[in-house]
Structure 1
Amino acid sequence: MSANTTPILEIRNLSISYGEGEARTRVVHDVSFSVAPGEVLALVGESGSGKTTTAQSVLGLLSGSGHIDAGSIHLNGEDISRWTEKRLRGIRGPVVSLIPQDPSNSLNPVLSVGAQVREILEIHGRLNRAEADRRVIELLTQVGLSEPELRAKQYPHELSGGMKQRVLIAIAIALKPALIIADEPTSALDVTVQRRILDLIDDLRRAYGTSLLLVTHDLGVAADRSDRLVVLQNGRIQEQGPTAEVLATPQSAYTRKLLSDAPSLAVRSARPAIDANSKPLVTVEGLSLDFGLPGGRRFRAVDNVSFTVRKGTTHAIVGESGSGKTTTIRAIAGFQKATGGTIHVGDTDVAGLSSRTLRPFRRKIQLVYQNPWGSLDPRQTIFSIVEEPLLNFDPLPKAERSQRVEAIIERVGLPTSVLSRLPHALSGGQRQRVAIARALILEPEVVVLDEAVSALDVTVQAQILALLGELQRDLGLTYIFVSHDLAVVRQIADTVSVLQNGRQVDYGPVAQIFESPASDYTRELIEAVPGRTFPHHLHLAAQTAGQGS
């Protein structure tokens, strides 16, 4: 950190509300903190904590009817909280810049990458066209994009998620601002890409002496990357201080709860012993799956994958985007025809199913998808959503259907009062409970969970994982759990397959894979998990403190 002690950013008693007239709702309450030159400050909290609203207020980018009710925002010692939009435009880029959350939605799809980087240079009139073009290539090179001249001519849809995020970083650093606000800059990225992007931000920040306000829900990222932490809940600061101190001796019950709920590679839930003599419920042998490409070419998405899953256990399939995870489970569930190999679920040969026999097979295996916002029909009531599988498969009397719907909703920890509501009236965790209820209503033998907790906040994620464990113990369920989050896998799985580019590079009991992985790729995945060096005693201390609070 710089010797200069004057804060780059100082927020004093900030309060923000949304709405009109008497119907305003206060979402940020009397928040105060500062960011010193060269410092990384992490704003940590769950959805609705006010962290993004606070960050947006610094840039003058409050959405809709957002309004600063009280307090001040000082940038380089000057209060900018009441500045006009015109004055704020003059500092966005040269003084403060933003790395937004979702790289897929943050770039203009109809402009080339080079044009979008050049735009920030042209808006502030720093360079002529030739100089700007040279600077664009320099910036794309600096953020680690291969073939920068080619990338400058490409459009966003031609780049991977990690490449797009590098372009957004190039735009953010183009004018060497004093402060960068990174709003969940890696939450949409795979774990190894996430580490590379965070390393890049760190390197550039040090090179420029830039301060960083890091907005994140991920305590692991905050633990690894920040100097100080501010913990927000419901728009109020619960505590703040040096990161190591806050994590070692959390003062607030909420911070202790966040710590105890955060999955850790060092903490493994107790799993029942597996009967090695029991017959596997799911057997996948030599599974391969090809897709056709233009010109008669073939792309092999899954290549010779084999594993077994015993009844009542959890098998995790781990890998990054494009590794073949989702294609594998779609084949197991009968949604995709295998090119080669065999899949057996119980006594059923999945590859041999006809359209007539596939329908009753679907009762045996049900899917729970990643996004609780996108997997439920927004026009149907919760009752209709959960009842639908019964209408499709079971010609039961109406009263019996209602009884089963109410019973399964209560089984997943929801009150029956939610049955009359629409999905938008529920939280993300509640919606995922509904999705689990819908999957269980037909009493399947196997439940496939496709990134089923990755879109949830850490405390809600912990609740859903606890629910899945309880249901597995009580109902004897067998899970196939698809995830890119190795900390979660370590916590809940019995066995694991690691996929890379469609090939299985590691397979075996969870402890074996994590303690002595066979492949360099698995080791890289494990090493890239944020907060991996988080000392085990911190989790134990947090759990103990949480129980005493």
Structure 2
Amino acid sequence: MTYAAPLRATETLVPVLSLPPVVLAVDDLCVAYGHTPVVDRVTFTIRAGEVVALVGESGSGKTTTAQALIGLLPPGGRVTSGSIRFDGELVSGFTERQFQGLRGKRIALVPQDPGSSLNPVRTVGSQVAEVFRLHTDHRPDLIRREVLSLFERVGLSDPELRYDQYPHELSGGMKQRVLIAMAVALRPDLIIADEPTSALDVTVQRRILDLIDGLRRDFGTAVLLVTHDLGVASDRADRIVVLQKGRIQDSGLARDVLGSPSSPYTRQLLADAPSIAQGVRARPAPSADARRLVEVQGLRQQFATADGQTFTAVRDITFSVAAGTTHALVGESGSGKTTTARIIAGLQRPTSGTVRVDGVEVTALSGEALRHFRRKVQLVYQNPFQSLDPRQTVGQIIEEPLLNFGPVPAPERKKRVLALAERVHLDRALLARRPAALSGGQRQRVAIARALILDPSVLVLDEAVSALDVTVQARILELLAELQRDLGLTYLFVSHDLAVVRAIADTVSVFQAGQQVEQGPVETVFSTPATDCTRQLLAAIPGATLNARFAKPTA
């Protein structure tokens, strides 16, 4: 703390806070692709040691803004006006060569998808070492020691082993830690974290964000956090900038933006974020004598490993699902959720145990009987783009199951497709388009319509909303609740996100390392968790402490 110049005797000593220096200053930034403006007069600053969050849905201009800051706009993108200053220097007119001198050394990027951001044919150690080879004159032995030290710092187990491994040998969380090690190798002044945890489990997400926060504290690094999740922003950011269609809707201290948002758009984001809207689904738990549509008993699944050993992915799983309700399977990646769901859907035969769906023993079926059983249980996958044939129109995609299960006349098929499009609130004009022309939410509606065309009794939803922005996610959850109410559907909802589970499920099973460690009504399990695993999952929900953090003090 510093003070003003000497005072006269009648004056009061007034402290003048020394603010950290401004690392990044963006003023009236405008970006266009061709003649189409996508970022319009965006203005914000980031000081040393500060976290500023850029928040908004897909298409809001968040990533485009971040790309413009470091000269990484895709072909056709250009800064049309405004200025970008880094450490006081005007960089908005930099050439690619000039930006190369900043990227990696003074400004680091942590991208969204760790799987596609690492070279698959090079070891992760050599890729991090490349940063030192490009920007320092260190000897090879010193570079290796630096990389191993970084791996240890970012929490990678057995750094010596990881150094010589390839990306496909690491989990998603491990790969993201490698990218963070690469980003902080030279202690940059600014880290741009573009959705760095959106593809990760909530517990891994928390560890990664804790890691970035620790580096910020230790080195005074400024952080630009790009996210669609106001829950994440509420936990991590000092200031928040909310973007919609390239324009700022709200901007200021996190407590002000989230405590009293000035724009309807920000208020909608807050209402749609399941991690912030903490209410449990308002409906009673199924009664003890309710008809059990799905019954799982003593389920076990083992796989042979490359070295001749046996790996047990699922062990002794037992639960049941009442007709017309939603049962959630929750846990981290590798906990056995998806394996269990695939067995229930008849896509995988277990090593032992039984599964009954509407009285039918699924594990005993084969051939034509198994094929016809699959009409009763349909799957909706995590990524709607990858699960839809890009060569087919939307109408053809929805119609296709009818062609696979018996002759249905063309007029009847068309009638059913139109009825389902209306049921899932999909404009019939979209039926002639292909998936690439649809948004993520529209694609997931197509996937749901395709699953419903055969009139199933059970839908298995495998991370069906985890790839969607919170606003789109909220609309899909509303659609699923409407369909369940109107059609009497039973859902098996696979998710790592307890905030979403809290919003949609009636009952829940918590998985850890292939075992079911807890189960029961959602309200009971979430309010009085019996295991450390469940408590850790609940504690990792971003934004869970929003009300406490921004609560107004009482008199």
The answer on 1:16 being equivalent to 2:26 is no
1:484-524 per-residue CA deviation (whole Å, 9 max, x = no partner) reads 11001011100001111111011111011111112111111
CA contact (8 A) 1:316 1:497 kept: yes
Give the distance between the partners of 1:218 and 1:445, measured in 2 at CA.
33
Counterpart for residue 176 of structure 1:
187
Q: What is the CA–CA distance in structure 2 between the aligned matches of 1:130 and 1:292, rounded to whole Å?
A: 39
- Is residue 505 of structure 2 the alignment partner of residue 493 of structure 1? yes
**Corresponding position of 1:316:** 328
Aligned to 1:358: 370
1:332 aligns with 2:344: yes
Where does the alignment leave 5 or more consecutive residues of structure 1 unmatched? 540-549
1:59 aligns with 2:70: yes
Counterpart in 1 of 2:11? Answer: none
Distance 1:109 1:280 in 2: 46
Q: Structure 1 residues 533 and 351 mapped into 2: Cα distance closer, same or farther (>3 Å)?
A: same
Change (3 A) 1:359 1:137: closer
Asked whether the 8 Å contact 1:266–1:536 carries over to 2, the reply is no
Give, in whole Å, the separation in 2 of the partners of 1:382 and 1:348: 33
**Equivalent residue of 1:341, what SS?**
strand
**CA deviation vs aligned residue, 1:18-70 (integer Å, no higher than 9, x gap):** 13xxxx21111111111112110000011111111111111111111110000
**Cα gap change, 1:354 to 1:129, in 2 (>3 Å):** closer
Alignment partner of 1:289: what SS?
strand
Letter in 1 for 2:31: I
| d(CA) in 1 for partners of 2:121, 2:93 | 34
| Deviation for aligned residue 1:395 | 1.7
Residue-by-residue CA offset, 1:290-348 (whole Å, 9 max, x unaligned): 12223543221110001110111000001111111111111111110111111111121
Q: Is the 8 A contact 1:267 1:536 kept in 2?
A: no
Asked whether the 8 Å contact 1:314–1:494 carries over to 2, the reply is yes
* Aligned mates of 2:383, 2:523 — CA distance in 1: 29
Conservation of the 8 A alpha-carbon contact between 2:41 and 2:247:
yes
- The within-5 A match list for 1:415-494 is 415-494=427-506
Cα deviation, residue 537, structure 1: 11
Give the drift of 1:3.
3.3
Q: How do 1:143-158 and structure 2 match up within 5 A?
A: 143-158=154-169
Percent of aligned pairs sharing the same letter: 61
Change (3 A) 1:248 1:79: same
Contact between 2:281 and 2:505, CA under 8 Å: does it hold in 1? no
Is 1:108 matched up with 2:119? yes
Relative to structure 1, the CA distance from residue 95 to residue 269 in structure 2 (aligned partners, 3 Å threshold; closer, same or farther) is: same
SS at 2:356 equivalent: strand
User: Which residue does the alignment assign to 1:214?
Assistant: 225
Contact kept? 2:303, 2:311, Cα under 8 Å: yes
Partner of 1:508: 520
Counterpart position of 2:85? 74
Tell me how far apart the structure 2 counterparts of residues 386 and 156 of structure 1 sit (CA, whole Å): 36
Distance 1:226 1:537 in 2: 12
Match of 1:392 in 2: 404
Q: 2:440 touches 2:468 (CA, 8 Å); kept in 1? A: yes
User: Structure 1 CA distance, aligned partners of 2:549 and 2:241?
Assistant: 22
* 2:251 corresponds to 1:240: yes
The amino acid of 2:167's aligned partner reads P
The reply on whether 1:3 has 2:18 as its aligned counterpart is yes
Distance 1:295 1:168, change over 3 A: closer
Note if contact 1:11-1:31 (Cα within 8 Å) is conserved in structure 2: yes
Aligned partners of 1:518, 1:12: CA distance in 2, in Å? 51
Distance 2:365 2:535 in 1: 38
Q: Aligned AA for 1:280?
A: R
Q: 1:152: how far off?
A: 1.9
Total equivalences in the alignment: 535
AA aligned to 1:99 is V
The Cα shift of 1:147 comes to 2.2
**Worse overlay, 327-336 or 138-147:** 138-147
In the alignment, is the contact (CA less than 8 A) between 2:326 and 2:492 conserved in 1? yes
Instruction: Provide the alpha-carbon RMSD of the alignment.
Output: 1.7
- Quick one: distance in 1 between partners of 2:238 and 2:485? 42
The residue type paired with residue 249 of structure 1 is S
**1:98-137 pair list within 5 angstroms:** 98-137=109-148
- Distance (whole Å) between structure 1 residues aligned to residue 188 and residue 258 of structure 2: 30
1:413 equivalent to 2:425? Answer yes
Name the amino acid aligned to 1:502: G
* 1:517 alignment counterpart: 529
* Conservation of the 8 A alpha-carbon contact between 2:255 and 2:550: no
After TM superposition, give the deviation of residue 536 of structure 1 in Å: 7.9
3-state SS, counterpart of residue 43 of structure 1: strand
Q: Distance in 1 between matches of 2:18 and 2:100?
A: 29
What displacement does 1:538 show? 8.0
Amino acid at match of 1:117: V
Matched, 1:301 2:316: no
> Contact 1:16/1:69 (CA < 8 Å) preserved in 2?
yes
Q: In structure 1, what is the equivalent of residue 52 of structure 2? A: 41
Aligned equivalents of 1:135 and 1:297: distance in 2?
Answer: 36
In the TM superposition, residue 12 of structure 1 has moved relative to its aligned partner by: 0.6
> CA contact under 8 A between 1:9 and 1:35: conserved in structure 2?
yes
Give the match's secondary structure for 1:320.
coil
Distance in 1 (CA, whole Å) between partners of 2:213 and 2:342 is 39
CA contact 1:12–1:32 (8 Å) conserved in 2: yes
Letter in 2 for 1:463: R
Q: CA deviation at 1:130?
A: 3.0
Query: Is this contact kept in 1: 2:280–2:523, CA < 8 A?
Result: no
What CA deviation, in whole Å up to 9, does each residue of 1:172-208 have, x standing for no partner? Answer: 1111111111111111111111111111111111110
SS in 1 for 2:283: coil
Q: Which runs of 5+ in 2 are unaligned?
A: 2-16
Alignment equivalent of 1:91, drawn from 102, 115, 127: 102
The answer to whether the Cα contact below 8 Å between 2:151 and 2:159 also exists between their aligned partners in 1 is yes
Partner of residue 160, structure 1: 171
> Take 1:334 and 1:71, find their aligned partners in 2: how far apart are those partners?
57
Letter of the 1:14 partner, please give it: L
Structure 1 residues 32 and 471: alpha-carbon distance in aligned structure 2, compared to 1, 3 A threshold: same
User: TM (normalized to structure 2)?
Assistant: 0.94
Give the direction of change, closer, same or farther, for the CA distance of 1:438–1:537 in structure 2 (3 Å limit).
farther
Contact 2:281 2:506 in 1 (8 A): no
CA contact (8 A) 1:446 1:478 kept: yes
Residue in structure 2 matched with residue 278 of structure 1 by the alignment: 290
SS of 1:104 mapped into structure 2: helix
